[in-house]
Chain A
Amino acid sequence: MTSNASPNGLLSKSWAWLASSVVNSQSFSGYFEPLTQMLVPQWRADRIRSKITTVRHESADMYSLVIKPGKTFNDFLAGQYIELTVMKDGAWVSRFFSISSSPAYYRQTGLIEVSIRVQEKGRITPWLAKALKKGSIVNLTQAKGEFVLPNNTNDMLMIAGGSGITPLRSMLQQLTSSANQNKRLVTLMFYARSSEHFLFEKELKAMQADFSWLTVDFIDSDAVGFFTEAHLIQACPTASQRDLYICGPSPMITSVRNTLKEAGFNKDQIHYEFFGPEPMENANTGSANILFSKSNKQISVNEDNQQTLLDLAETENTNPVSGCRMGVCHQCICQKKSGVVFNQKTQQYSDTGHQEIQLCISVPVGDVVLDL
């Protein structure tokens, strides 16, 4: 989101009122947006228009986008993510991605990188790799996120699962940059299935060779199984004195957190980020959580749930607007922030990113976050 950094809140409020009165729009730039887009294609008043410089294939199912962010892009912290928006068949589609390169690299070159795993059944990630080329336009938000390289000198243990390496790569790149006289000890436990490629393997090995404070363990989870306390003791005996950074698919994070809790780790030293879109397969693993973000309420439903989101929202008293309850009147339209829903009218599954949905004909498939 664009920051509302106006020194005078009242002034920006009056300005918005004037726009809503004089041009019936949320902002003057929004009013002129379709005209501006004639001169500057795909320009968005609320986004940072940026250019792709390279699409780099990292492995069979991973690729990185090298992006030159527009001038209004602020600096960021290693580990943060951006929302990337592109135009597909006339519609804007958005996805969140961690920045996989460092702030130091951005200061040097003016470039950032995001590294993307192709979701086999996904609509966007396979398409993006083909659709974007050098010079393509993407729209970014400012970087966001609390999962960042700490501003201290504590030793660190990083635990990555699969493509969860991306924000950790940003942190490591930052720590190894010449500007950063790092002395702290850092260990990376990098889990991936043997069929997968260890992303950035060469680069990580080179870092390890160059910096004595860094240890990288590539762990084949097909061979030795998933994270256990025994792995931890073997890879990093001093883990209990370190700050822990965990990133990977959500089941992995949950499992690692539980193991650490049982091993007596302090909650404050564990940092984690649920990475990327929820995998679609998750839909079949039992219950789904519906989070109503504005009213801060949550409800859990089991996998054979057939209730619509409107019914669920009403049981939770989140005050949804409702109308015909048959998908005609569009009054119950609500922004879905993330997750997949099934549309009973069109018999189609939604995209995972944010979009407007009709609550009365949408059934959640897996976890869903609603702006309600």
Chain B
Amino acid sequence: MTNTFTARPDSATLDQFAAELNQVREQTMSKVGAPDAKYIRNVIRVQRTCEVLGRITIPLGFFNPLLWILGVVFLSLSKILNNMEIGHNVMHGQYDWMNDPNINSRNFDWDNAGDSNSWKRYHNHEHHTYTNVIGKDRDFGYGLLRLSNDTRWKPKNIWQFFTYLTLATFFEFGIAYHEVAGERIFMGKRRKKSDLPISRDQLKSDFFGKIGRQFFKDYVFWPLLCFPAFLYVLTGNLAANLIRNLWTNTIIFCGHFTEDIHTFKMSDCENETQGQWFYRQILGSSNLEGRRWFHILSGHLSCQVEHHLYPDVPAMHYPEMAKQVEAICNKYGVPYNTGSFPKQLFTVWKRIVRHSFPDSKPAKVANA
């Protein structure tokens, strides 16, 4: 587990490094325009078509179970595209320049139990600013898993692989709970000074409101609408949500918890220059290699490094930018973490298992 900055280049070098990375951004942004608008509209078209087909085909499972399976595939695809390539990227403001009333970070709502405003509040700010900073980036282990020796081992970590599987199964609810800082809102673990811009009551009502509406849609509205096929629709929707949960969880875990990922202390990000910030973002993220369809289904989170460097650049440009970023990293001797999907996933599992047990070496002083 690397959590040191011993190899960090000096700040003058990192300033140059930042200048080159900013140049990649500028080059890309100068190309952003009509093709991006066309692209995201096309992805939305495919997603809407999949959703409509899924909603129609699932109840037809009443006549032939194969249709149920086909419907579940369509609906899962719709939910995955909606959450990943559309929702996540739109909510990062990547398409705000389009000035479209339905495709912008303020109005977009995704097909997911997590309230989109709460998610933006937490994810875009805390996770993206304090990536892999122990104690600050709550996405690091989600408060459930021990993923590095920065945190002390507890007996509950013994069965954390099962905790992980459970989290993956119910991932959308985990996100919903986690992103409203559930433990703070519901358990009374209050910070002395609340920096939340909205009230606890508002957070709670957003939390329950969104879960309620999602529950109503998938488990009340559609099943009742297709009444004779009630059970087919209910189980079909459940299956589609499950598939989406497993997929999104897997992709997201591969972005920050692979083998060579670095973790940081809060003191690492005090008075950071842009170059140091870039450096930390690169060390805290890992990429997945794959074909174009894989990038799209992962919402381009397969290019997690580029996403963390340029969160508001339209994601379809990430694979192209990745080549340039990797070249720049090589030039400056900054480790660039990338690998195939199976390989990276395997190291994530290894990490979860390894930290299920106490460290064999004498425990390091915690980085708090």
A24 to B33, CA, bound (A): 26
Residue contact B125 to A333, C-beta cutoff 8 Å: no
Scan residues 37-84 of chain A and give those whose CB is less than 8 A from a CB of chain B. 37-38, 44, 46
Q: Is A20 an interface residue (CB 8 A)?
A: yes
Decide if B35 touches A90 in the complex (CB within 8 Å). yes
One digit per residue, 1 when the CB lies within 8 angstroms of any chain A CB and 0 when it does not, for chain B 26-54 equals: 00010001111110010011001100000
Q: Would you call B197 an interface residue if the criterion is a C-beta within 8 Å of the partner chain's C-beta atoms? A: yes
Q: Does B311 contact A (CB under 8 A)?
A: yes
Is B99 at the interface (CB under 8 A from chain A)? yes
Tell me, in angstroms, the Cα distance from A31 to B107 when the chains sit together.
12
Taking a contact as CB atoms under 8 Å apart, the answer to whether B128 and A89 are in contact is no
Contact check, B101 vs A356: say whether CB atoms are below 8 A apart: no
Contacts A90-B98, A333-B93; is A34 near B128 (CB within 8 Å)?
A: no
Binds A, one of B213-221, B244-252, B323-331: B213-221
Q: In the complex, what's the smallest C-beta–C-beta distance from A152 to chain B, in angstroms?
A: 39
B121 touches A323 (CB 8 A): yes
The interface bits of chain A over 327-350 (1 if a CB of B lies within 8 angstroms of the residue's CB, else 0) are: 011110101000000000010000
0/1 string, B66-88, CB within 8 A of A gives 1: 00000000000000001000000
Residues in B with CB closer than 8 Å to A323 are 121, 124-125, 129
Give, as a whole number of angstroms, the nearest-CB distance from B88 to chain A: 12
B120 sits at the interface (CB 8 A): yes
Is the pair B128, A90 in contact by a Cβ cutoff of 8 Å?
Answer: no
Query: Within the complex, what minimum Cβ distance (angstroms) separates A115 from chain B?
Result: 24
Closest Cβ of chain A: how far from B43's Cβ, in Å?
A: 9
- B128 and A329 contacting across the interface, CB-CB below 8 Å: yes
Q: Which of A25, A319, A321, A355 contacts B109 (CB 8 A)?
A: A25
A33 touches B102 (CB 8 A): yes
Chain A residues near B93: list those with CB within 8 A.
Answer: 330, 333, 356, 358
Are A321 and B121 touching (Cβ within 8 A)?
A: yes
Which of B98, B107, B221 has the most CB atoms of chain A within a 10 A radius of its CB?
Answer: B98
Say whether B92 faces chain A, with CB atoms less than 8 Å apart.
yes
Beta-carbon nearest neighbor of B225 in chain A: A22
**B99 to A324, Cβ gap below 8 A?**
no
The answer on a CB contact under 8 Å between A356 and B105 is yes
The reply to whether the CB of B186 lies closer than 8 angstroms to some CB of chain A is: no
Which residue of B is nearest A358, CB measured? Answer: B93
**Alpha-carbon separation in the docked complex, A324 to B277 (Å):** 13
Contact check, A324 vs B125: say whether CB atoms are below 8 A apart: yes
Task: Kindly identify which residue among B37, B104, B111, B311 contacts A328, using a CB–CB cutoff of 8 Å.
Answer: B311
Q: Is B357 an interface residue (CB 8 A)?
A: no
Is A318 close to B, CB under 8 A? Answer: no
CA distance A21 to B33 in the complex (A): 32
Q: Does B350 lie at the interface of the complex (its beta carbon under 8 Å from any beta carbon of A)? A: no
* Any B CB within 8 A of the CB of A270: no
Closest to B92 in A: A330
Q: What is the chain A residue whose CB lies nearest that of B112?
A: A24
Q: Which residue of B49, B91, B216 has the most chain A CB atoms within 10 A of its CB atom? A: B216
Q: Which residues of B contact A10 (CB under 8 A)?
A: none
Collect the chain B residues with CB atoms within 8 Å of residue A30's CB: 101-102
Q: Is B97 an interface residue (CB 8 A)?
A: yes
Establish whether residues B96 and A90, one from each chain, have CB atoms under 8 Å apart when the complex forms. no
Q: Which residues of chain A are near B102, meaning CB under 8 Å?
A: 25-26, 30-31, 33-34
A128 in the interface (beta carbon within 8 A): no
The residue in chain A whose Cβ has the minimal distance to the Cβ of B106 is: A333
Within 8 A of A (CB), among B2-37: 29, 33-37
CA distance A36 to B281 in the complex (A): 40
Contacts A22-B217, A35-B49, A331-B121; is A89 near B312 (CB within 8 Å)?
no
Q: Are B100 and A333 in contact (CB-based, < 8 A)?
A: no
Tell me, rounded to whole Å, the shortest Cβ–Cβ distance linking A24 to chain B. 4
A113 to B29: give the CA distance in the assembly, Å: 36
A91 at interface (Cβ–Cβ under 8 A)? yes
Q: Of B45, B82, B99, B121, which one neighbours A356 at CB under 8 angstroms? A: B99
B110 proximal to A (CB < 8 A): yes
Is A92 engaged at the interface, CB distance under 8 Å to the other chain?
yes
Q: Complex Cα distance A22/B104, Å?
A: 19
A contact residues around B41 at 8 Å (CB): 34, 37
A32 within 8 A of B: yes
Q: Using Cβ atoms and an 8 Å threshold, which residues of chain A touch B106?
A: 333, 335, 356
Given A89-B33, A328-B129, A329-B124, 10 other A-B contacts at CB below 8 A?
A: A21-B217, A24-B111, A34-B48, A44-B101, A92-B98, A321-B198, A329-B129, A330-B93, A330-B124, A330-B312
Pairs A-B, 8 closest by C-beta atoms: A90-B37, A330-B93, A323-B125, A329-B124, A90-B34, A21-B213, A92-B99, A89-B33
A-B contact pairs, 30 of them (CB 8 A): A20-B213, A22-B221, A26-B101, A30-B102, A31-B48, A34-B102, A35-B49, A37-B41, A46-B101, A89-B34, A90-B33, A90-B37, A321-B121, A322-B197, A323-B121, A323-B125, A323-B129, A324-B125, A324-B128, A324-B129, A328-B128, A328-B129, A330-B120, A331-B120, A331-B121, A331-B125, A346-B29, A355-B97, A356-B93, A356-B106
Interface residues of B (CB under 8 A from A): 29, 33-38, 41, 44-45, 48-49, 82, 91-93, 96-102, 104-107, 109-111, 120-121, 124-125, 128-129, 197-198, 213-214, 216-217, 221, 311-312
